Structure 1
Amino acid sequence: MTGLTRHATFREILAQPAIWSAWGAQLSVADLRAWVTATGTDEVWFCGAGTSAYIGDILAAGLEGQPGPRFRAIPTTDIVARPHAYLRGSPKLIVSFGRSGKSAESIGLVVALDALAPTWPRLNITCNAASALGRDPKARVITLPEATHDQGFAMTSSFSTMLLTAAALFDASLPEQDSPRRFATLADTLQTLLPDFTDAARAARLPQRAVFLGSGPLAFAAREAALKVMELAAGRIPALWDSTLGFRHGPKSFTVEKTDLWLFRSADPHTRAYDEDLLAELRTQFPQSKVTAPAIPHHFPDLWSAPLYVALAQLLAIHWSDALGLNVDDPFAGQGTLTRVVSGVRLHPVTP
C-alpha cells in the first residue's frame, strides 16, 4: 500500500469523497435546471469519448422512463465521424463531457456544431477551464474543481464528478434542494467503503481475464470498470463487460480458467432478482473463477450508486497494474500507443 501512495491515480481515487462533498455544496442546481428548461429542447444528447462517453451511457440508462425530454447517449466519436447523420432536424441540447476538454473529438464536435447546428444549445461539463470545451463561447460551461483534472492516465475523479454533476441536473426524482445532501451522503458512503475496497483489491488475485456485469446504468458502470482494468493493466488483463441478462447470450464464452467476475447488483428488487439468479449460476458453473458481488448499500437508485461500484474497479485496476510492474500513472510509457489525452486524430473539414 505504501508504494501505491506515490501514484497520482491512487491519490485521486481516494480523494473522491472529499471532492463530491465540496462540489455538491456549491453546484447551482436550481439555476442550471432553469437554464436547461429554458432551452425548450425535447431531446438531450450526452456526448463524450471513451470514459466520457460511458458517462452518457450510464445517464441515459438511469434516466430512462422519467417524464420530460428524451435522453440519448451519442459518443462524440460518432458525431465527429458522421456529423451530417446527426446534426439535423429540430435542436437538441448537446451535453459534452471532457476531462481535458481538448481532445481532437471535443474540438471536432464544437467545429461540427458551429458548421451544421450553430443554434443548438450546448452545455459543456469539463475539468479544464482552459480548453476547447471550457472556452466555447456558444456554450453554458460547468467547470469542475481543479482536483478533478486527473493527472494520471486513467479517468477517476473526473469520471465520477462529471457523472454526478449531470445526474443532479437531469434526475427529476431528486428535488433540487436535496442535491447537496445527496452528494454528501454518497461521499460519506464511499469514504466508509474505501477501506474494505482497498483490502479487497489488495487481496484479489491477478486474474487471467476479468468480467464486470450489471443491469441498466450498472451495465455501463461495468463497461467503465472493464475499461479501467484494460487501461491500467496495459492490455495484459483482457476485460469484458455485459448486462446481467445479456451475458448468457454468447459473451459468457469469454469465461475460462482464472477468469474472475464481478456482478454489480441493482437496488431495484425486480432487477436484483435477475442479478441473484446469475450470481448463483456463475458460482456453480465456474468453480475455478472467483465470482464477487460487491456489498454496496442500496440507499440510492442505480444511477447514483454507479460511481461507488466503479471506485472498486479503479482500486482493483491500480493494484493489478502495480503487480504487473507497470507505471500506474502512465501504463503505456515508452510504447507511444496510448496517451492521457488521445492523439493522432486528424480532423477533416465539415461543410454545411
Structure 2
Amino acid sequence: MSFVKSLHDEEIKGAKHTVKEIYQQPDLWLQTVGIIEKQKVEIEDFISEKIHSNKARIIFTGAGTSAYVGDTLSPVLRKELPNQIDSISTTDIVTNPLNYFKNEVPTLLVSFARSGNSPESVATYFLAKKLINNISQIIITCNPEGQLAKEAGKDENTLVLLMPEESNDQGFAMTSSFSCMYISALLTFQLDRLEEFKRKIEVVSENANRILTQQYKTVKNLVSLNKKRVVYLGSSTLKGLSQEASLKHLELTSGKIPTFHESVLGFRHGPKSLVDDETLIFVFLSNDPYTRKYEIDLLKELKNDGGGKTVVAAANTNNKEIEEICDCAFIIPQQENIHLDDHLVALNYLVIGQLFALFNSIHLGVTPDNPSPTGMVNRVVKGVNIYNF
C-alpha cells in the first residue's frame, strides 16, 4: 500500500497537490533524464562553446529551495569539473551584485526556478547581462510561461531547459520541482556519463518507490513522537540536502516546529546546544567510507549523551553498527554492482524528509497545500521592490 492510500479523505483534502507531487517523483525523474537526453547535442554544443572554450566560472543561483538545488549540486561538480563553481542565491546577488559578479571573468549563470516569476530571479538574470562582459546563462525551470523562460527565449546566449510539466508544483512547497531541476543539472554537466547515469537513476527511482509504499510507515511513527524541534545534519552534498529538508519541514508545519540544519562536524561547534529531550535529529549518512567515519562518531556521541532525544539515521549501507547507535535507521537497499554516490542517494533521503514534513503538517492540523492561509508567506514571493542598479 502506498502512503497515499494510508491517508484519510479528510487528511488529503488540504494536501492533494503536495501528496501528488511527492508521489509522482520517481516517474518524473525518469522523464527528466529523457528530456535532457533529447537535448544532449544542443546542451553539449552550448557548454563546449560557453564553458570549455574559455574555462568559464559557473554560478548556480535561485531563491529559497531553488538556491538549495545549487548548494546540494555544487560539491560534486567541484570535484568533477576544472571550473570555479559557486552557489549564490539570487537574494544575495540582488542586494549586493558587485560582491559576486566579476565583470572581467567569463561566467555561466545557471538559474533554477519553479515558476520563473520570482522578482529576484528575473532581476539576477538582467544584472548578470549588465555587469558581466562575457555572460552566458542556462535557465532550468518548470514553467514555460514564466517571465524568466520568456526573457531567456529571446537571448542567443541563454539555453532554456524545461522540466516535465507536472513538476511545476501547485502546492506551496517545492517538492518534485526541486528534484527534477537537481537531476537535470547533474546530468547537464555530466553528459559523457549518460548511460551510467540512466541506470543509476532507475535504481534511485526504485528505492524511492519502496520508501513511498513501505518505509513511509516508519516516518509516520516518528511524527507520533510529537517532538518539539527538528534538526537535519549532513556532510558536503548532504549538507545542502539538509538545508532543503529543514526548509520543507519549516514551511509545511507553518513554523510551528523550530527546525534547524548544519553540517555533521559543524554541529558540535555551538548548534548542538539546542538539543533537549524534545529534539528529533536526522543524520543523512554519506556513502563515502571516509566521510561516514566522522558521521558514525557523531551518532555514537549522541547516543552516549543520553537523554530523551530521538536520533534517526538514513543510510545506503548494510551496516548493523548504524542501527545499534541510533533510535531509528532508514536503510536504502544496495544493489549489486551499483554504487550510488551521495549526490544520487540524496534523492532518496529527500523523499524521507518530504514525507516527514507532510505527515507532521497533517498531524499539527496545518493545510500542506496552503500552510500560510493569511498570505504572510506566498508560493511565489510578493512585495519585493527591485531597484535600478
Question: TM-score, normalised to structure 2's length?
Answer: 0.86
Q: Quote the offset at 1:119 in angstroms.
A: 4.2
d(CA) in 1 for partners of 2:181 and 2:307?
Answer: 38
Partners of 2:172 and 2:370 within 8 A in 1 = yes
1:36 corresponds to? 47
Within 2, Cα distance between the matches of 1:171 and 1:273?
28
Three-state SS of the structure 2 residue aligned to 1:56 is helix
> Do the aligned partners of 2:59 and 2:107 also contact (CA within 8 Å) in 1?
yes
Contact 2:104-2:133 within 8 A present in 1 as well: no
CA distance 1:238–1:201, shift in 2 (3 Å):
same
Structure 1 counterpart of 2:219: 201
Instruction: Judge which range, 295-304 or 39-48, deviates more.
Output: 295-304
Number of equivalences: 348
Which of 113, 132, 143 in structure 2 is aligned with 1:128?
143
1:22 aligned to 18, 31, 37, which one?
31
Aligned to 2:327: none
Q: Distance in 1 between matches of 2:76 and 2:307?
A: 33
Match of 2:8 in 1: 2
C-alpha separation in 2, matches of 1:159 and 1:190: 15
Corresponding residue number in structure 1 for 2:277: 257
Measured in 1, the distance between the counterparts of 2:128 and 2:57 equals 16
Asked if 1 retains the 8 angstrom alpha-carbon contact of 2:21 and 2:175, the reply is yes
Q: Distance in 1 between matches of 2:306 and 2:90?
A: 38
The residue type paired with residue 82 of structure 2 is G
How far 1:216 moved relative to its partner? 0.8
Q: State yes or no: 1:147 paired with 2:156.
A: no
Relative distance call for 1:333 and 1:218 in structure 2 (3 A) is same
| Structure 1 unaligned blocks of 5 or more | none
1:37 aligned partner, one-letter code: S
**Residue in structure 1 matched with residue 323 of structure 2 by the alignment:** none
Q: Which of residues 96, 101, 116 in structure 2 aligns to 1:101? A: 116
Distance, in Å, in 2 between the alignment partners of 1:226 and 1:307 is 15
Between stretches 270-279 and 82-91, larger displacement belongs to 82-91
What is the CA deviation profile of residues 303-336 of structure 1, one whole-angstrom value per residue up to 9, with x for unaligned ones? 11212111111110111111111111011102x2
**In 2, Cα distance between the equivalents of 1:197 and 1:241?**
23
Q: Which runs of 4+ in 1 moved over 6 A?
A: none
What's the counterpart of residue 12 of structure 1? 21
The correspondence for 2:95, drawn from 74, 81, 84, is 81
Q: Secondary structure at the match of 1:94?
A: strand
Name the structure 2 match of 1:212: 232
Counterpart Cα distance in 2 of 1:306 and 1:259:
23
Q: Structure 1's 252 and 217: CA in aligned 2 closer, same or farther, altered over 3 A?
A: same
Identity %: 35
Aligned to 1:223: 243
Q: Mean Cα displacement is larger for which, 243-252 or 115-124?
A: 115-124
Report the Cα distance in structure 1 between the residues aligned to 2:171 and 2:218, rounded to whole angstroms: 22
2:266 match: 246
| 1:184 equivalent in alignment to 2:202 | yes
The Cα shift of 1:285 comes to 1.1
Contact 1:15 1:157 in 2 (8 A): yes
Deviations 1:219-256 (A, max 9, x none): 11011111111111111111111111111011101111
**Distance apart, 1:14 and its partner CA:** 0.7
- Write the distance in 2 (CA, Å) between the matches of 1:206 and 1:133: 41
The whole-number CA distance in structure 2 between the counterparts of 1:292 and 1:48 is 30
Distance 1:118 1:105 in 2: 21
What is the TM-score normalised by the length of structure 1?
0.94
CA distance, structure 1, for counterparts of residue 206 and residue 84 of structure 2: 32
Q: CA deviation at 1:118?
A: 6.2
Equivalent position to 1:309, from 325, 334, 349: 349
Q: Distance in 2 between matches of 1:286 and 1:89?
A: 55
What's the counterpart of residue 341 of structure 1?
380
Structure 2, unaligned stretches of length 5 or more? Answer: 1-6, 315-330
CA contact (8 A) 1:106 1:132 kept: no
How far apart are residue 297 of structure 1 and its match? 3.8
**Contact 1:24/1:184 (8 A) holds in 2:** no
What secondary structure, in the 3-state scheme, does the structure 2 residue paired with 1:275 have?
Answer: helix
Amino acid at match of 2:61: C
Match of 1:234 among 248, 254, 279: 254
